[in-house]
Amino acid sequence: MPEHRFGRALTLALLVLLAALLISSVVGAAGIDPLSVSVTLINELPGVHLPHALDPLDRTLLLEIRLPRLILAGLVGGVLAVAGAGYQGVFRNPLVDSGLLGASAGAGLGATLVIVGTGSSDGAVVPVAAFVGALLGVGFAYLAGAGRRDVSTLLLAGIAVSMFLSAVQTFVLQRSTQNLQAVYSWLLGSVSGATWHRVLIMLPYAVVGCLGVFLHGRHLDLLAVGDEEATSLGMPAARVRLLVIAASALAAASAVAVSGLIGFVGVVIPHVARRLAGSSYRRVLPLSLVLGAAFLMLVDTVARTIVSPGELPIGVVTALIGAPAFVWVLRALRGSAT
């Protein structure tokens, strides 16, 4: 029965993802006919040549501007959801995401240092600095909490490292107030500068990170019953925890590097996946990937159209949606505890 439930949930999630792709491709300042969009996308398949495709101008708009942005938003959303689910499995806490282990603070500090140093948030150096900063933040947190068996110590170490890195970032900004707007526009998150090149840069790190988490789905189910029980079943709990944290950090870092800081996706989406398909991480992880991708595609569409011709930072929209959803998660957890 759980497998049937998972199959239905995954099918529904894939349909939502396809709908999100079509809706987001059509909606915008320049409206495009949905049928022509569908035909144009199908024509991109090898050997397919259907009539009624888009004219050259709209085709360029779709394939070179909107589609790379949609794909990048989908990658970021799916990766953040998988990383959040991985951290929740490691810490046995559904309220944890990558931001609590230093990834967000490290990425923010790395990007801030480069923006302050160069005076611009454009260019290829900022994503690299954010990527390295995210990995270093998680690495420092793990080293600070290493050697202790309880996961709460590691989590507290992550919070301490995040607070320290955020304090350093604030100090840097106070000494360079002319760069505040550029820094905060990056911190609030956006995929507005998406290109196929940026998608290809992110893709290998995202695939390796997510694959590393997926391969440990069964181990995360064992960790849910406790380290001692998992060890008695032959699983090296400490090594699995390190591998999942490393894979989740790599995945989250690849997302943050190209989009800035986007909150709540890693907390809320895995919880929705659990409600749909049960608590096993072998089902939660793939479902989180698909739901996270669809969610951020739709959120980005709202962000770029709600105040047209302007654009809201995507992190603002996820916060507006995610904060009430986070309260729902808290109430759901409270209800299950009682």
For 230-283, what is each residue's pLDDT tens digit?
A: 777 778 888 888 899 999 999 999 998 888 888 889 888 999 999 888 889 999
Q: Is residue 15 part of a domain?
A: no
In this model, does residue 296 exceed pLDDT 60?
Answer: yes
How far is Cα 107 from Cα 256, in angstroms, rounded to an integer? Answer: 7
Identify the CATH number of the domain in which residue 313 sits. 1.10.3470.10
How many other C-beta atoms are found inside a 10 Å radius of the C-beta of residue 120?
12
Q: Is residue 58 part of a domain?
A: no
At residue 101, the pLDDT reads 84
In this model, does residue 299 exceed pLDDT 90?
Answer: yes
Instruction: Find the Cα–Cα–Cα–Cα dihedral 154, 160, 162, 166, rounded to 10°.
Output: -170
Q: Is residue 42 part of a domain?
A: no
At residue 34, the pLDDT reads 77
How far is Cα 90 from Cα 216, in angstroms, rounded to an integer? Answer: 10
Q: Is residue 60 part of a domain?
A: no
Q: Is residue 6 part of a domain?
A: no
Q: How many domains does the chain have?
A: 1
Q: Is residue 168 part of a domain?
A: yes
How far is Cα 129 from Cα 114, in angstroms, rounded to an integer? Answer: 7
